[in-house]
Structure 1
Amino acid sequence: MWDESKRDRYGGVDPGLFTVDDEDGKDDGVCQPFLLRFEDERDLAGTYLTSDQLYFELGEYPYPLPSNTISGMGFCTITPGETETMLDLLENEPEGHIEPESHEDVELQGDPVPYLPEYSVDSPEDANPESHLEAAVTENPSLLPEFLRPDGAAICRQVPISPFKPRDMDEADVCYFTEDTIQDGTIPNTVIELKNKRAGKAAATQVVRYLRWLHKRLGSEADEIDVYVYAPSFTGTFNGYIPKEFTDQIQKVDFTGRRQLTLSE
């Protein structure tokens, strides 16, 4: 489980498994890091393109996307729209091809250790810091209430929902993209803002900024987007920061799975 915390918290146990030094003093096993294996179903192995090719195409969208706001990020998950654009360029307008074969001998020290969610946190309350919570629910959506799980949708993390800005661009923690695409799959169908502490004014005003921008860019199409704030609890003043026009679109969900609209009291 990649939790983006300090590396010195970890000590090796079995090959591929590490223990984390946390507050309970137990020898908690975690699986960190992990590798992803991709299957090449389009015979594109070794095909490449230039960054300009991709960014020229993505420049058609009048809002930032994960791949063109990657500066300073330790990771980048891209939207289905960006993925399809990239695959289409690789398939139809490649810059070139490099033989993907290697004559180097590769030997594993043992059998690969599969990734298992059981080595991650058992509940959202156990995740710390907030980036750990984002990573945990991304790799194991069963930590979320059933109605908040992706159900086959593509998952993206840290998706910019903001106008272009030099810094401090608003990025949604977790987004789902369904087959019923919005703007070619570059805009999420569901936005989830995660908090590992009580959600108050900062969380409320952040999701309001998301919706103001989405409605400015998409008009009535933005009404189709579901927005959730998932947190252990909410301040009594949270609802007061949600304008009336967004009260039906923003839902509060606490860690028990209880959800409610942000209706002004």
Structure 2
Amino acid sequence: MKISELLAFVTVVETGNITQAAERLNRVQSSISHRIRSLEDNLDVILLDRRTDGCSPTAQGQILYEYALKILNLADDCKNNISYSKNSQLTIRVGIIECLPPYIISSLIDLGQDLGWNIDISIGNTISLLSAFDKNEFDAVIIGAGFSNAQHARTLLLSSELVIITEKSHPRITDISSLDGEVFLLSSKKCATSTRNFNVLFDEGNITPKRVVECGSYPVLFSSIAAGKGVSLVLRCSISGEVKSKIKTHQLSGQFNDFKIELLSRTDCAYLDSAKFTDMVASVFQDPRLRDVGY
């Protein structure tokens, strides 16, 4: 069995389709099909249940899929270890949720440089980052709490406050039920953390939004709020001083004061001092600006 064959097989299982697997791997379909057949010939079993609407693993295919994931992860670890042995500076792949202020990223990169590390940052939403972490695409992720499982090594980094933001002229909100019928804006409907927080707000305030609009990014969300296009629920520390001057912030109470962000990191990387890395990240989240509006 070759790594390329295992990668092709895993990708077909995950996409459920040889065509999509070929697109993801930037290969022609015949190449993917050939690698799957080679595995089946080598193991003398049928690995995929091929249907007109796609593919799914057979019982034997499921066994191979689980082993293939481990083998591919080990291969990636091997490459990383060899790369580290060749280079004086270690690259640490870190995924971060998009709602955090930019100075967090700058601080991580700067402190990493001081320790001889190259911190390679990617921005995303909690679910996509967690999925990538489980596939060994990241060495660590900083995400909203409540989505990881007991198998992950977790460190609580921040417990902060969620606030309602509106245009400047909006009346002061004293009862969240007054938001019933409003247009709600969020950065991304794919962001499970934001979606969960909005659903809690809707349930607690018995709110039926006029509609929920996806803005695509936090800069667009903030500018839309300032223009009076709707209201939103955001992490207090995500509001910059410039944005603060253009919008109105409304404080909430109860569970909205306890939004948690956690670090998931690998404890099995031979090339990474996980304790040292965790201490470095935790120190960044001691920044007093995280407790205030504006930065």
- Could you state the TM-score of these two structures normalised by the residue count of structure 2? 0.27
Asked which structure has the greater CA Rg, the reply is 2
Structure having greater relative contact order (Cα 8 Å, sep ≥ 6): 2
Q: Which has the higher strand share?
A: 2
- Could you state the TM-score of these two structures normalised by the residue count of structure 1? 0.29
Q: Which has the higher helix share?
A: 2
